[in-house]
Amino acid sequence: MEFVGSHVLSVDQFDRGAIQRIFAVADEMAPYARRERITRVLEGAILSNMFFEPSTRTRISFGCAFNMLGGEVRETTELKSSALAKGESLQDTARVLSGYSDVIVMRHYEAGSVAEFARASRVPVLNAGDGPNEHPSQALLDLYTIRKELKSRDRGVDGLRIALVGDLKYGRAVHSLCKLLALYDNVHYKLVAPPELGLPGSIVDELRSAGHVVSEYSQLQPGIDHVDILYVTRTQEERFPSQAEADRYRGLFRLNQAIYTQHCEPNTVIMHPLPRDSRAQAQELDDDLIEHPNLAIFRQTDNGILVRMALFALVMGVADRVHEYARPVTWATTRRFA
Ligand code: NCD
């Protein structure tokens, strides 16, 4: 895959070679993400970070990743404060913004909108989530995390057993992750969801025709035994036709220390794209697991910086020059990593 100048819209555009390249560059970013060194390799470059849906970690980590490469960030965080609220088309917004910036990150509530925007953009566009469709950078950071966690257990991704729990219908992070994992060999997907919130049939078909095993469960316990990775997700309430309908699924599956200890293998890694819903009636991932060494959720968020730095470096053609523009930090590094 040619990265320089490319959009990143869907995990469909990656093969295993491209993933290896992204992860090799991500590994190189560790000293910068840890603030041991700084690099100015993207000095003068401007990122437009456009988020038309709520976000904390994706928006801020894309912005920080760009800053950590020496670039500058301009942000729009609400549709109502952009000209889209005045009826401007996505295409016109793209034509304008691509005159102001060198790369654009966009999140939007409609499936396909980021691709539509990208078609009119003169600079690379990275999809930070388009409605219930895809979230490619999340899937890459999840896969990067899975690979790292398994490596510390002397395992690779081939032969992976993963349980995906929750709202698999609307969860775009799940959609992208499932498709990305399908590039590996002999994956066993255990899908745990109420029948109405199952993984879209087109994705299930895609996984099966790539030779993987897909099993479906409507109960938590039988779905989470014998897996390497337990990937828990939130009910995507904002995508339901009504709040009343979303409320029917609130708190349906809850993973806590007792259930984990009783039903999971001792090495099972717990992941979640976050945010987890910590309201009393929801709590799909209980806080009583917070000290558990297998809880990888904040290792995921830390890894997100590495992967997003790698995407920018590759798309902007500086992946091999990051260290040339680097020096040690002059201030005390106060940061601790998960
Ligand atoms: C996810 C998303 O926005 O799709 N969040 C994220 O970017 N880490 C998952 C979610 O919102 O539940």
Pair (286, 196) in one structural domain: yes
Q: Ligand 1, residues 51, 52, 55: which to mutate, most atoms within 8 A of Cβ?
A: 55
Distance 293 CA to ligand 1 centre (A): 23
Contacts of residues 193-198 at CB distance under 8 Å and 24 or more positions apart, as own/partner, are: 193/164, 193/165, 193/166, 193/167, 193/168, 193/169, 193/217, 193/218, 194/218, 194/249, 194/252, 196/169, 197/166, 197/167, 197/168, 197/169, 197/170, 197/235, 197/249, 198/168, 198/169
Both tokens of 303, joined, read 């890894």
Distance 173 CA to ligand 1 centre (A): 6
The letter for the amino acid at 330 is: T
Report the C-alpha gap between 284 and 37 in whole angstroms: 38
Segment 135-178, tens digit of pLDDT: 999 999 999 999 999 999 999 999 999 999 999 999 999 999 99
Query: Does residue 126 belong to any structural domain of this protein?
Result: yes
Pair (100, 205) in one structural domain: no
Segment 215-232, tens digit of pLDDT: 999 999 999 999 999 999
Query: Does residue 335 belong to any structural domain of this protein?
Result: no
Distance 129 CA to ligand 1 centre (A): 8
Q: What is the pLDDT of residue 338?
A: 66
Pair (55, 163) in one structural domain: no
Contact 297, 272 (CB under 8 A): yes
Q: What is the DSSP string of 57-102?
A: HHHHHHHHHHHHTT-EEEEE--GGGSGGGGT--HHHHHHHHHHH-S
Report the C-alpha gap between 267 and 150 in whole angstroms: 10
**CA nearest neighbour of 165 among 279, 284, 265:** 284
Pair (152, 293) in one structural domain: yes
Query: Does residue 336 belong to any structural domain of this protein?
Result: no
Report the C-alpha gap between 71 and 39 in whole angstroms: 10
Pair (178, 311) in one structural domain: no
Pair (142, 290) in one structural domain: yes
Name which residue sits closest to atom 7 of ligand 1, judged by CA.
58
Report the C-alpha gap between 244 and 306 in whole angstroms: 39
Say how many domains are in the chain. Answer: 2
Q: Mean pLDDT in the chain?
A: 96
Q: What is the pLDDT of residue 87?
A: 87
Span 173-192, average pLDDT: 98
Pocket of ligand 1 (CB under 6 A): 57-58, 129, 135, 138, 172-173, 233-234, 236, 273-274
Pair (291, 144) in one structural domain: yes
Query: Does residue 5 belong to any structural domain of this protein?
Result: no
User: Can you give the residue range of the structural domain that contains 102?
Assistant: 11-134+303-328
Both tokens of 63, joined, read 């912005």
Contact 66, 304 (CB under 8 A): no
Pair (167, 242) in one structural domain: yes
Query: Does residue 6 belong to any structural domain of this protein?
Result: no
Distance 323 CA to ligand 1 centre (A): 32
Query: Does residue 333 belong to any structural domain of this protein?
Result: no
Pair (141, 72) in one structural domain: no
Pair (154, 287) in one structural domain: yes
Atom in ligand 1 nearest the alpha carbon of residue 128: 7
Query: Does residue 164 belong to any structural domain of this protein?
Result: yes
Distance 325 CA to ligand 1 centre (A): 33
Supply the CATH number for residue 233's domain: 3.40.50.1370
At a CB cut-off of 8 Å and minimum separation 6, what does 248 contact? none
Q: Ligand 1, residues 57, 58, 62: which to mutate, most atoms within 8 A of Cβ?
A: 58
Query: Does residue 246 belong to any structural domain of this protein?
Result: yes
Segment 228-252, tens digit of pLDDT: 999 999 999 999 999 999 999 999 9
Pair (211, 130) in one structural domain: no
Pair (286, 140) in one structural domain: yes
For Cα atoms 245, 246, 248, give the angle at the middle one, nearest 5 degrees: 70
pLDDT band, very low/low/confident/very high, at 292 (cuts 50, 70, 90): very high
Atom in ligand 1 nearest the alpha carbon of residue 54: 3
